[in-house]
């Protein structure tokens, strides 16, 4: 299951206010991004496959500064955030060398990123 994050909830995750240990995958998207819409079905499949992780989606229009806060440029962007403790561990999936023409990311690249970072 994928939950849509509010600005406040995202800020709590990124600022270390979530003290429980958890691994979260966050897809940043924009309503007018065709890649973002095309990626949504694969992202749902990932959420079903990884029941031990928390999957979220965040619309960057709700918090435009988030790109600078997290350290990415453009959408879609997939991140992995480990909560618990004072500072969350935030990792950003790099842009693919050869983007998928429909979804930007290749599903296998996201799976490899999750496997490596979780």
Question: Could you read off the pLDDT of 105-114 as tens digits, one per residue?
Answer: 999 999 999 9
How does strand 22-29 pair with strand 89-92? unpaired
* pLDDT at residue 75 tops 90: yes
Question: Could you read off the pLDDT of 39-74 as tens digits, one per residue?
Answer: 999 999 999 999 999 999 999 999 999 999 999 999
Domain boundaries, the chain: 2-117
Chain-centroid distance of CA 50 in Å reads: 14
Confidence (pLDDT) at 86:
82
The reported pTM is 0.96
* pLDDT at residue 85 tops 90: no
Q: What is the CATH code for 2-117?
A: 3.40.30.10
Residue-wise DSSP of 15-80: HT---S-EEEEEEEE-TT-HHHHHHHHHHHHHHHH-TTSEEEEEEGGG-TTHHHHHT--SSSEEEE
Sheet holding 22-29, edge to edge: 2-4, 54-59, 22-29, 77-83, 89-92
């Amino acid at each position: 299951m994928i939950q849509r994050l509010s600005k406040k909830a995202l800020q709590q995750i990124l600022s270390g206010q979530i003290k429980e240990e958890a691994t979260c995958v966050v897809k940043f998207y924009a309503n007018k991004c065709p890649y973002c819409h095309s990626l949504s079905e694969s992202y749902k499949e990932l959420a079903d496959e990884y029941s031990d992780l928390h999957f979220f989606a965040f619309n960057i229009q709700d918090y435009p500064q988030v790109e600078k806060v997290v350290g990415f440029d453009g959408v879609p962007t997939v991140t992995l955030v480990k909560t618990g403790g004072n500072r969350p561990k935030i990792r950003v999936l790099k842009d693919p060398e050869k983007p998928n023409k429909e979804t930007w990311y290749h599903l296998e690249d996201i799976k490899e990123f999750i496997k490596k970072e979780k």
